[in-house]
Structure formats: structure tokens, C-alpha cells
Amino acid sequence: MRIVIAGGHGQVARLLNRRLADAGHTPVGIIRNAAQSDEVTASGAEPVVLDLEKASRDEVAAVLAGADATVFAAGAGRGSGPARKWTVDRDAAILLAAAAATAGVRRFVLLSAIGADDFDRTLDDDFEVYLEAKSAADAAVRDSDLEWTILRPDGFTDKPGTGKVTVAETVGRSSIPRADVAAVIAALVTGTLAVHRQFEVTGGDTPIDEAIAAL
């Protein structure tokens, strides 16, 4: 499968790239900074330089042409300020979904965040803006005609993956290794499980495929 990943240089994305490449798939990583190309290539993906904050729907659709699926794993990141939470975490995700529809790419996996709907507009806080932006992106994708899945992990760690998770519409707060988030995305994007489902995910005791199949 040819799988296009927005935010292809991110920590989760690079783990996903490697997992997909090792399984015989062809990951394509969309990146904003050409200087990241070598690292994306080393992770097993084909880098494509395209700034999703500036690109048109047709430009993104051209990258998606011929793909079997796409993943939004981009994020403005810490210290980026509230404006880029809107332009990346919300607008770029919505743009990718629209471009996927244009390109005829039906399978769409969106990496969101636990508690995205629990933001507090009264707080002048970048994290609350981040949650609100994620919530808006999730809502737009849910309203699309794509074969979407939205996963909302809790706090990431760099511990080795266990291959086991807890998933449900709502789960208790915990952490999850980035490697396991990548493994969940890989299972979703290469199969047909959890289409039109949104769920939270943390570390747990259930094997990933079994956990997703039970949703």
C-alpha cells in the first residue's frame, strides 16, 4: 500500500514509517522543511516537501494521487503559539481530508489527542487552544464522507512499545509509548477495522489487533 503521512518527520510518524516500510508498504512523508528529508528517508519513507499551512487543496491532492490511505500526524508542537495551533492542528488536518476526497483516497486516519473536547475557552492557555483546534479538526473529519478513524492517545513516552493497549470511547488517563501509537495507526491504516470510529488509547494489557477489533 502507498500511504501518505502528513507530518512525516514527527516522532510517531518516523516510527510509523519504519513499521510500514518493514511490512512492505510504501510510506510517503509530507514535510515542511526540506532539511528533514534525509531523516525521513532513513525512517523508510519517501519525503515530499509541502507546507500544509500554505498549500492549496489541489496541491495536496496531487501528492495523494494514487495513494491507498493517508494519515494526519502533524502538529504545531510545543512553543509554536496559538495561531499555529489553528493553522496546523485544525486547518491542515481539514485540508488533508478535503484533498483526500478530491484525490479519491477513502481511508483516513487522524491522530488527535485525549480530552480534545474538554477544552476551556476561558483559559488563556496554548494547551487549551491546542485541544480546541484538535476538537474542531476531529469534528470536520467526522462530518466527511471518508472512511475515517480518529484515535486520541494520552501522554506519549519514549519507552519501548509493548504491543498492548487500552482502547475505548473514553479511557482513564495514563501514558502510552509512541511506538505503540505508531503500531495502532499501522494496524488501522492497513486494514478495515474501526472505520467511522473515534476512540481514546493508552498503554494497557490487550494486544493491539484484538483491542481494535473489539471496538
Is residue 34 within 8 Å of 28, Cβ to Cβ? no
pLDDT at position 24 is: 98
pLDDT at position 123 is: 76
pLDDT at position 77 is: 76
pLDDT at position 121 is: 79
Interstrand relation of 46-49 and 107-111 (parallel, antiparallel or unpaired) = unpaired
Q: Provide the residue range defining the domain that includes 43.
A: 2-213
As to burial, measured by CB atoms within 10 angstroms (0-12 exposed, 13-18 middle, 19+ buried), residue 45 is: buried
> Between the CA of residue 124 and those of 130, 135, 136, 138, what are the distances in Å?
11, 17, 18, 22
Is residue 141 within 8 Å of 100, Cβ to Cβ? no
CA 16 – CA 213 distance, rounded (Å): 20
pLDDT at position 125 is: 82
CA 14 – CA 30 distance, rounded (Å): 11
pLDDT at position 82 is: 79
Q: Please count the structural domains in the chain.
A: 1
As to burial, measured by CB atoms within 10 angstroms (0-12 exposed, 13-18 middle, 19+ buried), residue 9 is: buried
Give buried/exposed letters for 140-179 (b at 16+ CB in 10 A, else e): bbeeeebebbbbbbbeeeeeebbeebbbeeebeeeebbbb
Residue 152: which CATH number? 3.40.50.720
pLDDT at position 97 is: 98
Active-site residues: which are they?
130
pLDDT at position 92 is: 98
CA 170 – CA 14 distance, rounded (Å): 27
DSSP string, 174-214: -EEEHHHHHHHHHHHHTS-TTTTEEEEEEE-SEEHHHHHHT
pLDDT in tens, the chain (215 residues): 999 999 999 999 999 999 999 999 999 999 999 999 999 999 999 999 999 999 999 999 999 999 999 999 999 777 777 789 899 999 999 999 999 999 999 999 999 999 999 888 777 788 899 999 999 999 999 999 999 999 999 999 999 999 999 999 999 999 999 999 999 999 999 999 999 999 999 999 999 999 999 99
Q: Which of 108, 78, 114, 79 is nearest to 94 (CA)?
A: 108
